[in-house]
Amino acid sequence: MSNTQNEITVIAIGGGGFTHETDPDLEDFILAQSPVKHPNIGFIGAASHDSPSRIDLFYRRFLGSAQSPSHLLQSASIQTAKDWVSQQDIIYVGGGDTQHLLNYCRKNQLDHVLAIAANSGTILAGVSAGAVCWYEFALSDAAGNGLKPLPGLGLLPGSCCPHYSSEPERQIAFQRQISNGALPNGIAIDDGVAVLMRSGQLPRFYTAREGLGAYAVEKRASDSISTRISLIE
């Protein structure tokens, strides 16, 4: 299911939310972006290898506040996955192993299926790995050899970095790799913060934690600069 607007809406969360049992306002913000009063919301937990505890947290958070919450297992057939995606108003992708998530999406054609859904009005959302996956590039330590550029699904231009406020080494690496050209200009997101991106609009952020935000990080000569993007009041 989807709305009738022909625009892509993506909500990227830097960290926190229901999978960490924090910041319930983040999920309220996601639900509020749908034109459907009680939207169908689906969870993809591939990044956590379909962790039963995270799936349970998803249902505990959305039962009663969304219409028929459901989840997609990695074992589902390609056709089952396509049918499932078509029934959702919002798709929430959990955090975990970014490389595994991307491999799963590509192997099962979900990269194309999710792009079609987004262009038909389905809201795509996610936290951490589930936030950065939508961009052309992510900063990830998925390979286990330090924070490196990782090609994403490419629904959104540029790069993305989660956990900007809680992992100083990630903040430094993101700025450095943009300044040296290893990553394109991008968005950095603090924990407890959701960035709302809609086609044709500048990104804006909502925060569940006072003082935290999201930033446009851009290459300038041989350095990079970070500029706080606009807050959604």
Catalytic residue, from 48, 163, 165, 224: name it.
163
pLDDT confidence of residue 200: 84
CA 121 to chain centre: 16
CATH code of the domain in which 204 resides: 3.40.50.880
The 3 state secondary structure assigned to 57-114 is HHHHHHECCEEEEEEECCCCCHHHHHHHHHCCCEEEECCCCHHHHHHHHHHCCHHHHH
Question: Is 2 a domain residue?
Answer: no
Using DSSP, state whether 224 is helix, strand or coil.
strand
pLDDT confidence of residue 4: 43
Per-residue pLDDT for the chain (233 aa), expressed as one digit of tens each?
A: 544 446 899 999 999 999 999 999 999 999 999 999 899 999 999 999 999 999 999 999 999 889 899 999 999 999 999 999 999 999 999 999 999 999 999 999 999 999 999 999 999 999 999 999 999 999 988 767 789 999 999 999 999 999 999 999 999 999 999 999 999 999 999 999 999 999 889 999 999 999 999 999 999 988 999 999 999 98
Q: Is 226 a catalytic residue?
A: no
Q: Is 20 a catalytic residue?
A: no
d(CA 57, CA 207) in angstroms, rounded, equals 21
Half-sphere exposure of 145 (CA within 13 A, CB side): 4
Question: Is 112 a domain residue?
Answer: yes
Q: For the chain, what is the total number of helices (H) and then of strands (E)? A: 7, 14
Domain tally, the chain: 1
Question: Is 210 a domain residue?
Answer: yes
Residue 55: what are its φ and ψ, rounded to 5°? Answer: -65, -40
Question: Is 3 a domain residue?
Answer: no
Q: How many residues does the chain have?
A: 233
Question: Is 195 a domain residue?
Answer: yes
Contact 137, 158 (CB under 8 A): yes
Terminal-to-terminal C-alpha distance of the chain: 29
pLDDT confidence of residue 3: 43
Global pTM reads 0.95
Q: Give, as one character, the DSSP assignment of residue 174.
A: H
Run of H or E including 149: strand 148-151
Question: Is 157 a domain residue?
Answer: yes
pLDDT confidence of residue 8: 94
Catalytic residue, from 2, 34, 48, 128: name it.
128
Question: Is 44 a domain residue?
Answer: yes
Domain that holds residue 175: 9-231
Question: Is 4 a domain residue?
Answer: no
